[in-house]
A and B are shown apart, each in its own frame.
Chain A
Amino acid sequence: MLLTLLWRATFPSMQVTVSQRIHNLLCHLLSPWVPVVGLEIHAQISSNSKLFSGSQVQFAAPPNSLVSFFDASLPGTLPVLNRRCVEAAVMTGLALKCSINKKSLFDRKHYFYADLPAGYQITQQRVPIAVNGSLSYSLCMDSKMSQMVTKIVRIKQIQLEQDSGKSLHDDTRSQTLVDLNRAGVGLMEVVMEPDMCCGEEAAAAVRELQLILQTLGSSQAVMAEGQLRVDANVSVHRPGEPYGVRTEVKNINSLRFLAKAVDYEIRRQIEELENGGTILNETRAFDSRLGCTVPMRDKEGKQDYRFMPEPNLPPLILYDAKSLPANMNHQQVINIDWIHERLPDLPSVKREKLVEQYGILPEHSFTLLNEDGLAEFFESVVKQTQMKPKKVIGWILNDLLSYLKQYSLTVKESPVSSFLLADLLNLLEKKEISSTAAKQVLAELWKGEGKTPLEIVKEQKLELLQDQKELEQICQAVIDERENEVMAIKAGNRKVLNKLIGLVQRKTQGRSNPVLVKQLLEKKLSE
């Protein structure tokens, strides 16, 4: 294991290429088709107010309560850019290793829809705020998470744009109810190059992006609340041939559905082509109930968005330390270098630090970061206990996390605080209780009745028998009762000893230290 780790640490890229080559080879042998997946991701910017107006950004507010005259596109209103939204996009661009355009432009993209009252969306089509970045993400090669591969997807661009309102379709009365609360909220559209080849890769890339956005605080990126929306472009082609006709899959609102939708679409296209059919360049929606993609009637045919420069917004100019103007109001200046210096540690760096500092396995660092607040919980427990981090991680990942999953709670909602868990682990570390007893205490702590681990240990008499004489007596009693087993052991069948240890454990209700019991039994049997 250590060797593998060392090897991984020394030749991370080599490992990738070797396993990737095997993967590619397998793909080639198994299927004569190469799937190509690209993603467009809309992330709602976490800000108090909207991109171009001073109305509030909030999820699930009363309908049309967060709408200004500009958001409703009333005549005579003009857009005024929100500084926070620009900074969030710059932060995100820097975190995704993009080059930030010091001059970017706004454009109008026209289409008719009831929840877009202006008839156009302000976006950045010609010169977006950030271009040419990359995102590295990891995924497991097997279900046990023991072999992880790191891959890279190129980021084409990040553009600032307005969100649309929401439509509620009332089919029975044949009408659409329009809520403009979301209209004009700031979005970052992250465009990924088609560097992925399956649903799992797409989901892993989006998960990493989600963690980065949450770390930066540039978006809360909760998919269930629509703060992160993914459209997938999927095509398949024969190896060595140009890319096939692609379809765009929309309406994907969870990572699990993203993986499913992409894989379904790949299978559908291959089947279609192998049956002599053709793929239409169309927009399809993922039906999570049926687990398949269906064509969207609404978006039939090629759209012409009639892009034009937004006449009401001059170019967006950003500065760096070198180009910083001397006599300009600092509230009107966005300094890229200043933002760069203040970027927090990104998930990949945090993982490396966890592995280095606590000697845990890389895959464990992934699990720690995957759950919001779990890494902090782990570090807090480690600080408060004498137990080695390598042992603590087992309690966090196997026991605490499975409880949280079982009751679908977040780390913050855990009834067992890091303090209580550390307390419990200290009892275990001081050999006052057995690990079986510790699990019993944890189950009791989970009820959240406000008892300390020590109180529970006392109440349920779970402390290890410290009285050697009492333990010796129990061992003697077991030996006297079990003549057959003792004969077997004396005849050389050492395995039977475990049975005796188990019997002692049962008599002491798990309160005996198995190592000590083994020693005592061995001593008595050799007498």
Chain B
Amino acid sequence: MRALSLGRWLRAWRVPPLPERWHSTLPPQQKVSVEVLDHLEHLALVDFRDSEGVERLQKAIQFADQLHEVNTDGVEPMDSVLEDRCLYLREDDVTEGNCTKELLENAREKVEEYFVAPPGNIPLPKLEERDSFLQGS
């Protein structure tokens, strides 16, 4: 299964410019190496495809790096704003299901009542088979 949504999202995403005053204190901007890129693409099954995508990724990382500026010493990390709420417990009753038809309506391909997917995960092309534009980065 290849998920392209993140790649599309990254390509479409405009990274907001960094505030002037932070430029000085940020860690020096790191180039995204081919190996890191390869690892990320495998993890997320995303194809960054072209140099523009890679540049956008680099900017996204830089944007997220701003978080390092905040001093969090001795602060317990927060999971979510709901973490002090009660976790609702449901009784063990069957209330859903039996909607095969509706579920399969969205499926691009189906066989009888099954969803059809490509066989296993499609491996990304080997590093050396990748477009040459990445070789220099």
Contacts and interface: CB of A to CB of B under 8 A. Distances in A.
A141 to B, nearest CB: 43
Nearest to A186: B92
Contacts of A64: 100, 103-104, 113-115
Nearest to A334: B89
Interface in A154-211: 167-171, 174-180
Given A82-B92, A169-B119, A114 B1 contact: yes
B120 A86 contact: no
A56 interface: yes
Nearest to B80: A311
Interface stretch (A244-252, A313-321, A420-428): A313-321
A119 interface: yes
B89 A332 contact: yes
B114 A168 contact: yes
Contact of A49 (B84, B92, B117): B92
A105 interface: yes
A81 interface: yes
A64 B106 CA distance: 13
Contacts of B12: none
B117 A175 contact: yes
Interface in A283-318: 298, 304, 306, 309-317
A319 to B, nearest CB: 12
A77 B136 CA distance: 44
A224 to B, nearest CB: 23
Interface stretch (A11-19, A33-41, A65-73, A395-403): A65-73
A53 B97 CA distance: 9
B89 A83 contact: yes
A171 B91 contact: no
Contact of A81 (B79, B85, B90): B90
A72 B95 contact: no
B119 A67 contact: no
What bracket does the count of chain B residues touching chain A fall in?
35 or more
Contact of A67 (B1, B91, B97): B97
A81 B87 CA distance: 8
A331 B1 contact: no
Contact of B97 (A66, A84, A119, A313): A66
B114 A63 contact: yes
Nearest to B88: A80
A117 to B, nearest CB: 9
Interface in B61-87: 79-80, 82-87
A179 B115 CA distance: 7
Contacts of B52: none
Contacts of A315: 83, 87
A167 B117 contact: yes
Contacts, number: 147
Contacts of A176: 116-120
B89 A72 contact: no
A53 B96 contact: yes
Contacts of A309: 79-80
Contacts of B92: 47-49, 82-85
A55 B93 CA distance: 8
Given A169-B119, A177-B115, A314 B82 contact: yes
A54 interface: yes
A110 B111 CA distance: 27
A65 B100 contact: yes
B24 interface: no
Contacts of A63: 100, 112-114
B99 interface: yes
A59 interface: no
A69 B95 CA distance: 12
A7 interface: no
A178 B121 CA distance: 13
Contacts of B104: 64
Interface of B: 1, 3, 39, 43, 45, 79-80, 82-100, 103-104, 109, 111-121
Given A49-B92, A81-B87, A169-B120, 17 more contacts: A66-B98, A81-B90, A114-B115, A114-B117, A169-B119, A174-B118, A175-B119, A176-B116, A176-B120, A177-B115, A178-B116, A304-B43, A309-B79, A315-B83, A331-B89, A332-B86, A334-B89
Q: Which 6 A-B pairs have the closest CB atoms?
A: A54-B95, A84-B92, A55-B97, A114-B117, A68-B96, A309-B79
26 contacts: A48-B94, A49-B92, A49-B95, A55-B94, A64-B100, A64-B103, A67-B103, A72-B103, A80-B88, A82-B92, A83-B90, A83-B92, A84-B92, A110-B43, A114-B1, A176-B118, A177-B111, A178-B114, A179-B113, A179-B114, A180-B115, A309-B80, A310-B79, A312-B80, A314-B80, A317-B87
